[in-house]
A and B are shown apart, each in its own frame.
Chain A
Amino acid sequence: MAIEINMPALSPTMEKGTLAKWMVKEGDTVESGDVIAEIETDKATMEVEAVDEGTITQILVAEGTEDVPVGQVIAILVEEGEEAEASPDALPEPTKPVVETKASAPADVPAQDVFVEPSAPVVAVTLADPAVPQGTEMTNLTVREALRDAMAEELRRDPDVFVMGEEVGEYQGAYKVTQGLLDEFGPDRIIDTPITEHGFAGLGAGAAFAGLKPVIEFMTFNFAMQAIDHIINSAAKSRYMSGGLVSCPIVFRGPNGAASRVGAQHSQNYAAWYANVPGLKVIAPYDAADCKGLLKAAILDPNPVVFLENELMYGESFDVPVLDDYVLPIGKARIFREGSDVTLVSYSITVGEALKAADMLAEQDISAEVIDLRTIRPLDIETVIESVKKTNRCVIAEEGWPQCSVASDISAQLMEKAFDYLDAPVTRVNSVDVPLPYADNLEKAAVVNADKIVTAVKAVCYSE
């Protein structure tokens, strides 16, 4: 019975890959478990094993083919000696949603104002970052590369900087963010730990007391809950408790928030948790340039910094300024897009949704100003207030639970500090108030998206 071998999905986020190498040829017999091909994803080269036993009768995708979509038939295998009954293995075509390749610009936006990058979320009428001098040369980097470059530059500059965490060295990072660092800096400075978060977070804080500059990677921030005592009780409070005698210049970094269907225990946003703590700085950047400039700033900062990345953003590419030492100020929000009818505040991955929402709103003649907070603590509420003075409306979008969220805090501050400027209630768009479910449809329904933001904006603009 002929069995179709499909391009496999090799990670939760993979949509296509390169068929790097065939390890079999037509006519070869294979057993379950034999490696039949090598496939490159954005993260790694992976081996594909045969699931069924039989003979490879046809190879349908040539070695070296790039961008083969997940699910495409790449070879045909015929089972040995099986009668010609319907094979239980002939599964129907996978029902993966078709991936939109390129978002088109809304019709009513002048073409020259539209800036579309192949893989980056759509950004229309984007303002240049005021921190970058006009005419600066740009290079296209993924968020992953920008983070790595930031660490590499600081490791080169200061011998007291070291990186520690699970799988950061020999494995090259669970999400490949530390790729190449072990080769350049060696095992004394790029240190693989056992799975022992509470221990190495405390060790890092102690090393920072002694003047070193640890960059502690959590494989994800979900696992930092094992270590949160040291982040808060040891790192955040020591300067204060010692009357300023003890410093703890440490960075705790790693992916934060939901990824793709990894379930309730692996999908939490901790921004509001850490933002609650005096003695910490909390950064949650969106694009690659901010990742680079702010991670460098975090490592240079004499305080403990919690640096929240997002796994779904690691493979996204953005322009990053080519500057010798690109350091951004901590605590400064960025107006990503100017507008006059409503202020849309967000941070991290949700900035992308806010920008999409702003595009959709533009089509309906609603002009949204999009603010990327970039730093959650200290919070740049001034920038938000200045914007609200102009727009008189504010919607805050955040991937995370609503109660006691960053959005709640901004809402409270606007009520205290900008009450007279508001023409509508400040509105929060948060994830649904439940642990994140695994099922595809439920997960999609639970997270924040552009549509939900648009609905909220229209409500505060009384436009529907």
Chain B
Amino acid sequence: MAPKKSTKKPAASPRRRSTKPALYKAADDELISFYQQMLLIRRFEEKAGQMYGMGLIGGFCHLYIGQEAVVVGIQTALKDGDSVITGYREHGHMLVGGTDPKAVMAELTGRSGGCSSGKGGSMHMFNPEKGFYGGHGIVGAQVSLGTGLGFAAKYRKTDNVSVAYFGDGASNQGQVYESFNMAQIWDLPVVYIIENNQYAMGTSVKRASSEIELCRRGESFRIPGEQVDGMNVLAVRAAMDKAVKYCRDGKGPYILEMKTYRYRGHSMSDPAKYRSKEEVQKMRSEHDAIDQIKAVILDRGLMDEADLKAADKAIKSRVADAASYAQECPEPALSELYTNVLA
């Protein structure tokens, strides 16, 4: 692609999180749907953690508990034809992207009914039909790949966008900056979502990053960036609507830094000695994404406590069904070992 003429305004100054963040004005049914989607992720992940403990899930298993508002706020702003890519902490992305929880859980147990036929596992789930391209285990790789998905959207002259999610830790990989530069010189429609959950395994952002406001990481590439309260689904959605519009309008890439938090260890085998219990408890009790949206729902009188309980029960039983399916489903046939290596 030819480099564009330098008609661009000077470096957009990155917008930090404002004291009064814009909040998405959700209709009643949207609000309930946000709540249900976040709760589905939470209950699903709790069950996955339990099944890992029982030895039904093997290898690495990274839970998304605590970060639910990010993926729900982002995914609901997309339309058909948009593409999405992320790392290994992708169960939530699969669920919100419309993959049946049964297929996700059966992938976790490595069974034939899993979304990757049992060959990928927790870290490698895909649903290209719905625009979801994985599920990648190499930290940072999804950023270049997501930039390529954005390149394809522009190459085909669509107004679709690509969303590349990555962590605070991943934001230190060199290929992230190679990608930023290309995305900006070619005006690629990529929204970079930095899921800043404050830790990369046991390393806090402070210990690993010279610039801890990760929304500013695009500054020297002239990519606008914004910091968002990633525990508030309405703030996430409002910021994403703006970023998506910017990309669809052909103005180039956009960076959103989601300040969020993971409640569980990095993976199931993380002793999590690098942070205090108080820190985790404080996030859970004061900033929990699901509690926040619950409060709005109660406030607007959309549901009462009994309705909320019933909703939770319905979701729990959906997850329980997924768990039973994932255990009853047979392992892949041995002949599957040799399939899908090449077309």
Please list the residues of chain A having a beta carbon within 8 angstroms of any beta carbon in chain B. 6-12, 14, 32-33, 35, 41, 43-49, 51, 70-71, 88-89, 91-92, 94-96, 166-167, 170-171, 174, 192-196, 198-199, 222-223, 225-226, 259-266, 432-435, 437-442, 445-446
Contact = CB atoms under 8 A, between A and B. Distances in A.
Contact of A71 (B54, B59, B324): B54
A442 B60 CA distance: 17
B60 A12 contact: yes
A424 to B, nearest CB: 27
Nearest to B138: A265
B209 interface: yes
Nearest to A434: B341
Q: Size range of the interface on B?
A: 35 or more
A3 to B, nearest CB: 10
B111 A439 contact: yes
A171 B203 contact: yes
Contact of B120 (A41, A43, A48, A438): A438
B165 to A, nearest CB: 15
Given A195-B169, A438-B110, A45 B271 contact: yes
Contact of A195 (B60, B170, B268): B170
Contacts of B53: 6-10, 48
A8 B203 contact: no
Given A6-B53, A32-B46, A260-B59, A11 B110 contact: no
Secondary structure of the B side of the interface?
Answer: loop
A308 to B, nearest CB: 19
B284 A195 contact: no
Nearest to A175: B269
Nearest to B107: A438
Contacts of A10: 53, 268-269
A9 B119 contact: no
A195 B173 contact: yes
5 contacts: A195-B208, A223-B139, A226-B138, A260-B58, A266-B59
Given A96-B55, A196-B173, 11 more contacts: A7-B53, A10-B268, A14-B269, A46-B271, A170-B203, A261-B110, A263-B60, A265-B123, A432-B338, A438-B116, A439-B119
Contacts of B52: 8-9
A442 B268 contact: no
Given A171-B202, A192-B207, A261-B121, A47 B58 contact: no
Nearest to A14: B269
B323 interface: yes
Interface string B87-123: 0000000000000000000010011000010111111
Contacts of A35: 277
Nearest to B268: A10
Given A88-B320, A195-B208, A196-B172, A441 B332 contact: yes
